[in-house]
Structure 1
Amino acid sequence: MNDSALKPATQDIVVDEVFPHAPETLWKVLTTGDLMARWLMAPKGFAPVPGTRFTYQTKPAGAWDGTIHCEVLEVVPHERFVYAWRGGDEANQGYGSRLDTVVTFTLAKVPQGTRLTLVHSGFETPVNDTAFRNMSEGWRKVVPNLRNFVDGGAGNKS
């Protein structure tokens, strides 16, 4: 048996959106704690520096206290921002089950502005099916909605 046969099947959420803004403007919205709090959740202890550990707080469930533990994994200014997203508890089924995933934002300059691609990867099936379903819906609303936060005070339109 090879290693891939031992690994659980996973699913990824992918959201791709083009914004009429410069990569630097979107970058600010994605990597500034106060702005993140406006479009996602308020991060505690956040800095866009590899190795930085920070948390988000959401609705608790069962044995899980609702804390999402994150760690910045990669920062390439104006191009790529990656962090671990971990939470849940082994004892929970459905909402609040153990989750060990990675969120990647990639920015690419295009003639219309900037293409932002979000990939939230590593949802194990079937244990993370509820999280995958809920977060797929969430990211598909949050990412396009970023334009309201860019236009509303993150910087210049470009």
Structure 2
Amino acid sequence: MNEAATELRSVVVEREFPHPPEKLWRALTQPHLIAEWLMKNDFKPIVGHRFGFSAEWGAVSCEVLEIEETKSLSYTWGDHELKTVVTWTLTPAGAGTALRMEQTGFRDNQPRYFQGARAGWPRFLAALGELLARMG
């Protein structure tokens, strides 16, 4: 197998929100809030916790890899074919927060997953922005 065939691809989405990192952190780590902008889940912000996301199109299995409160969160995201890692990075930006989401590990032979992530994450982040605007 040549090297190009094993090259992994990433999806990156970056947005600035006019909210403090603590508020975004709550939306990224509290299950009832995650369900409002992403999917139903049984997330717990504990390294090693295994959890799942589910939606009408299916489900993904995840495991928390790293947590640095109000700064970064990383977890696996996959199924029997897909093995990726989602990393959220929060950086204070003026009165708000710059949020970076990177999903790494798409293989070249997984165009459906890669295109799905490229189409899906901007929509999820738009829904996150709407949730943040409603949150107290």
The answer, yes or no, to whether TM exceeds 0.5 is yes
Structure 1 unmatched runs, 5+: 61-65, 90-97
CA–CA distance in 2 between the matches of 1:59 and 1:30? Answer: 21
Task: Report sequence identity in percent.
Answer: 34
Counterpart for residue 111 of structure 1? 94
Whether contact under 8 Å (1:80, 1:105) holds in the other structure is yes
Whether contact under 8 Å (1:41, 1:56) holds in the other structure is yes
Alignment of 1:6-155 (within 5 A): 8-44=6-42, 46-59=43-56, 66-87=58-79, 89=80, 98-126=81-109, 128-153=110-135, 155=136
Whether contact under 8 Å (1:17, 1:144) holds in the other structure is no
CA–CA distance in 2 between the matches of 1:9 and 1:59? Answer: 31
Calculate the TM-score normalised by the size of structure 1. 0.79
Calculate the TM-score normalised by the size of structure 2. 0.91
Number of equivalenced pairs: 135
Structure 2 unmatched runs, 5+: none
The structural deviation recorded for 1:140 is 1.3
The runs of at least 4 aligned residues of structure 1 exceeding 3 Å deviation read 4-7
CA–CA distance in 1 between the matches of 2:51 and 2:76? Answer: 10
CA–CA distance in 2 between the matches of 1:129 and 1:59? Answer: 21
Name the larger-Rg structure. 1
More strand by proportion, 1 or 2?
2
Whether contact under 8 Å (2:66, 2:73) holds in the other structure is yes
Whether contact under 8 Å (1:58, 1:68) holds in the other structure is no
Whether contact under 8 Å (1:54, 1:69) holds in the other structure is yes
Structure 2 counterpart of 1:120, one-letter code: Q
Secondary structure at 1:37 match in 2: helix
The structural deviation recorded for 1:7 is 7.4
Counterpart for residue 95 of structure 1? none
Secondary structure at 1:119 match in 2: strand
